[in-house]
Structure 1
Amino acid sequence: MPKIRTKMIHFFSYNENTAQRYSRNHEHKGGGVNMKKWNKMAMGVTALSLMTALAACGSNSSPASNTASNTNSTKESAAPQSTTDKPVEISFANWISVEDGTKEAYNQLIAEFEKANPSIKVKSIGIPFAQFKDQVLVSSAGGNPPDVTMSNQNFTPAFVGANVAAPAQDLLNAEIINDIVDASKAGVTFDGKVMAMPWAPHPSALFWNKNLYTKAGLDPEKPPTTWDEMIQNAKKIAALGKDENGTPIYGIGETGASDSYTGNMLLRISYSFGGKFVDDQGNIVYDQGTALKESLLYMKDLIDNKVSPQGAAMADLRPMFATGALGMLVDGDFGRTNFRNMSGKGAEFDKEWGVTTVPVSKTGKSETFFTEHQLIVTAGSEKQEAAAKFVEYLVSKEAMGIYHKLNGVMSARKSISELPEMNEDDYSRIFNTQMKTASPLPSKNPKFDNAMKNSTDMIVMVTEGGKSPDEAIATVMPKIKELYKK
């Protein structure tokens, strides 16, 4: 592997609110297992402010023009011009460099980019996902934006609303913009402009543990095809009680932590019951019909009967699945790499699990959503030409080949997603099939991420607070609707 010349800065933004959120997200309140044992994080309090950290990131950067260059008329391989022999240094805010499952892919991508583009060096700003949106917004407002930032469908509306994002369509090759998968392109288009570059869509599918299926008397090669069958299988697995080491076994993992991802997953469940969050005019209709109520009853049933652990974050559920304590889990296409690493068994662990499309429910089809890694060239960057070059590389055939090989991710570009090497096995084919029925998150409103966080209060009220679904909905939904009015 070429020598990697990427400098990395990892930091936490720590305050009392962060500590309280972390405690709520990770402290299990009953249900047979303490969730802290599944996911321990050492929270260090940095002595430097976020502004100082990010200012330091740019202190060694070469001066560059702050004029955005439209590269639509240039080829992807054209290198940005430099007025000095010193390489241009661009900063890249991301979370994949600080996550164990994606570190290797990140390192290879940066090494290959710098090898092919010696006039550009990439400085990584590695930020844990839970703090990512707030830290990018704060640093950008303080005049120290990264040159390129990762994003997703929850974050991009906030970045666009805060003028952090420069229009991608003005900076990237038109051939690339026109190659974006339609559903992904719609998700990054604001007021008629493509503001972010979709990188890797992550449709969620159902993983199942074959060993636990066998122990529960189920056919290990026959995953559930309907919602009711999935619940029945989950209860049979949970009935196993504990493993030989006394570790509780759960049938399926549904998130219950107070974070926006849990809100996304509750919305995903409501899709299976025929629900939706907003109508075509952007009005909130989440509380109309019975879908949200049925979703909360589903969560209450699972947690009350210890079929799913209470108060779990996705960071808790993944290692549980990888260590044989969880029978089923709805997760994204990066699951294979995560489970291989967390199990300690590598590719051998593939023999112990399978993946299939999410079982059908009321709508008669496999309902799920796709989250998506996206890339933004920031409006405040003084090196937009080099930043655009970096983004074009990350979504190229070569880069996606690396990312797919190491993490199984899909591509948001039509021409790349159809390549044989992106559909080389059953795993890839399942996720490409799931992508056909997956819905983009309805996240155009900048307050969507906050709305998803608030919606998790309904789960807590129903599963821990003794409230009925109707009471929880009546309490929380007016707050979400008011949030959207602001």
Structure 2
Amino acid sequence: MKARGKMAVGATTLSFMMMLTACGSDTGSTTETTGSAAPSGGAAGAKGGKQVEISFANWISVEDGTKEAYNQLIAEFEKTHPNIKVKSIGIPFAQFKDQVLVSSAGGNPPDVTMSNQNFTPAFVGAKIADPLNDLLGGEMMSDIVDGSKAGVTFDGKVMAMPWAPHPSALFWNKTLFKKAGLDPEKPPTTWDEMIQDAKKIAALGKDEKGTPIYGIGETGASDSYTGNMLLRIAYSYGGKFVDDQGNIVYDQGTALKDALSYMKDMIGGKISPKGSMMSDLRPMFATGALGMIVDGDFGRTNFRNMSGKGAEFDKEWGVTTVPVGKTGKSETFFTEHQLVVSAGSKNKPEAAEFVKFLVSKEAMGIYHKLNGVMSSRKSIAALPEMNEDTYSKVFNEQMKSASPLPATNPKFDNAMKNSTDMIVIVTEGGKSPDEAISTVVPKIKELYKK
């Protein structure tokens, strides 16, 4: 997701701050969306029986794949909590972190904000996030999947509630596998098999319309998500980003070098497209131009919609855990959606009620049905309705080996974006992985010292 120009960011930030202080109309870059009107009543969490309005900064209300789930979630919450009304502040993902930081610093924080494992450290560092241990209670805290909980715990306090864990798994296109002479029902189980399968698919060249066919899609854009995915690849080669003391050890050993060699091989060899964002790769997979992609549990809904074939497209692809690499296990991260209650919120009890609802069995049932997302709560993840098919079982299995991103430093998101320069250096600059590492990693280490 590419950064916009300073004027555009400034304008959208101003719009966001204005919307937090007063109800307004759609500004284009941010949207205000509310659920259906609800009558006053005696719902839990409302002060003195009067209606309370809480603001919710999020990106799911402005993304086509999740708008319907968002609308149903808000409608259900306001129906069951008639004294609490939600004013939604929809912000495009690429602008999200900066706008929340600016508005909160200006004294206008949303009551609840979406987050992820890149954004939360920045929100904690800026003292925007309020500890949730007491607000949500011990029973809720003990119900969080261990890997997710580790990623939101700072100095012993849970600073964000994991919502949807989004462990990444491997999707493969059965049609392209068959055309490449591969068994369409046999996805790769090892890293080396995945590379060989990708090369065979890319060797198909172009489809009947002249569209290039790629074997696998690896992100190469200059954004923090690409940095996360490079780190995931390095983990498959046995690497680490930081040691137990938080010191950067990304350049130690051969894992990062191996990961960059893999990226150079895939992108330089036209096995994977160059400079792509996930928003580029997903429609390529959905239209048969990409043999494999590592993506989250919302993939099924996205691919159905993007293909134009709906559920019929399910016959053309499969999903499996990420192939085993050098470590001997399926390496992936929780790239999860999280929920933060703002430290500056004047409606913390109501904000907590909203968070509790969004991670409840009822809400996750809606979200899972419409978008295939899993739950970060142990009790809900184990429910039969969350394991009703092979798709759900794969992602629940992937959660067992998923790691939290090593993101406790507030500069982690910036570090991940900076690390993408290494991909550019080896794929476009013609330099070696060693040269890329020696150029970029010292800058990341310096960033962490500031």
With normalisation by structure 2, the TM-score equals 0.93
CA shift, 1:122, in A, is: 0.8
| Mapped contact 2:111–2:347 kept (Cα < 8 A) | yes
| Mapped contact 1:278–1:442 kept (Cα < 8 A) | yes
Confirm or deny that 1:15 pairs with 2:5: yes
CA shift, 1:417, in A, is: 0.8
What whole-Å deviation, never above 9, does each CA across 1:368-420 have from its counterpart, x for those lacking one? 11111110110111111111110000000100111111111111111111111
SS state of the match for residue 228, structure 1? helix
Q: Distance in 2 between matches of 1:191 and 1:170?
A: 15
Q: Distance in 2 between matches of 1:132 and 1:362?
A: 35
Q: Distance in 2 between matches of 1:84 and 1:432?
A: 41
| Mapped contact 2:267–2:273 kept (Cα < 8 A) | yes
Q: Between Structure 1 and Structure 2, how many residues are aligned? A: 432
C-alpha spacing 1:47/1:189, structure 2 compared with 1 (3 Å) = closer
C-alpha spacing 1:47/1:260, structure 2 compared with 1 (3 Å) = closer
CA shift, 1:188, in A, is: 1.1
Q: Distance in 2 between matches of 1:205 and 1:49?
A: 34
| Mapped contact 1:51–1:144 kept (Cα < 8 A) | no
Amino acid of the structure 1 residue aligned with 2:172: W
Q: Distance in 1 between matches of 2:236 and 2:107?
A: 43
Q: Distance in 1 between matches of 2:3 and 2:217?
A: 29
What whole-Å deviation, never above 9, does each CA across 1:178-218 have from its counterpart, x for those lacking one? 21112211211111111111111011110000010111111
Out of 15, 36, 50, the position equivalent to 2:13 is 50
User: What's the counterpart of residue 196 of structure 1?
Assistant: 160
Amino acid of the structure 2 residue aligned with 1:58: T
User: What's the counterpart of residue 226 of structure 1?
Assistant: 190
| Mapped contact 1:207–1:353 kept (Cα < 8 A) | yes
Out of 398, 402, 407, the position equivalent to 1:443 is 407
CA shift, 1:311, in A, is: 0.4
User: What's the counterpart of residue 127 of structure 2?
Assistant: 163
| Mapped contact 1:58–1:91 kept (Cα < 8 A) | no
Q: Distance in 2 between matches of 1:58 and 1:121?
A: 15
The 5 A counterparts of 1:168-187 are: 168-187=132-151
Amino acid of the structure 2 residue aligned with 1:80: G
| Mapped contact 1:197–1:374 kept (Cα < 8 A) | yes
Amino acid of the structure 2 residue aligned with 1:455: S
Amino acid of the structure 1 residue aligned with 2:22: S
User: What's the counterpart of residue 370 of structure 1?
Assistant: 334
Amino acid of the structure 2 residue aligned with 1:54: M
Runs (5+) with no aligned partner, structure 1 = 1-11, 19-44, 62-76
| Mapped contact 1:277–1:286 kept (Cα < 8 A) | yes
C-alpha spacing 1:389/1:251, structure 2 compared with 1 (3 Å) = same
SS state of the match for residue 202, structure 1? coil
With normalisation by structure 1, the TM-score equals 0.86
Q: Distance in 2 between matches of 1:210 and 1:336?
A: 15
C-alpha spacing 1:229/1:52, structure 2 compared with 1 (3 Å) = closer
SS state of the match for residue 371, structure 1? coil
| Mapped contact 2:298–2:371 kept (Cα < 8 A) | yes
Q: Distance in 2 between matches of 1:52 and 1:445?
A: 29
CA shift, 1:367, in A, is: 1.2
CA shift, 1:234, in A, is: 0.6
Q: Distance in 1 between matches of 2:378 and 2:173?
A: 32
| Mapped contact 2:163–2:359 kept (Cα < 8 A) | yes
Amino acid of the structure 1 residue aligned with 2:427: T
C-alpha root-mean-square deviation of aligned residues, in Å?
A: 1.8
User: What's the counterpart of residue 81 of structure 1?
Assistant: 46
Q: Distance in 2 between matches of 1:480 and 1:270?
A: 16
What whole-Å deviation, never above 9, does each CA across 1:416-448 have from its counterpart, x for those lacking one? 111111111100111111111111100011111
Confirm or deny that 1:237 pairs with 2:227: no
Out of 289, 299, 321, the position equivalent to 1:335 is 299
CA shift, 1:481, in A, is: 0.4
Q: Distance in 2 between matches of 1:304 and 1:84?
A: 63
CA shift, 1:170, in A, is: 2.4
| Mapped contact 1:13–1:50 kept (Cα < 8 A) | no
User: What's the counterpart of residue 36 of structure 2?
Assistant: none
The 5 A counterparts of 1:244-323 are: 244-323=208-287
SS state of the match for residue 250, structure 1? coil
CA shift, 1:237, in A, is: 0.6
CA shift, 1:246, in A, is: 0.8
Runs (5+) with no aligned partner, structure 2 = 25-41
CA shift, 1:83, in A, is: 3.9
CA shift, 1:58, in A, is: 3.4
| Mapped contact 2:147–2:402 kept (Cα < 8 A) | no
The 5 A counterparts of 1:118-157 are: 118-157=82-121
| Mapped contact 1:51–1:142 kept (Cα < 8 A) | no
Amino acid of the structure 1 residue aligned with 2:119: F
C-alpha spacing 1:46/1:462, structure 2 compared with 1 (3 Å) = closer
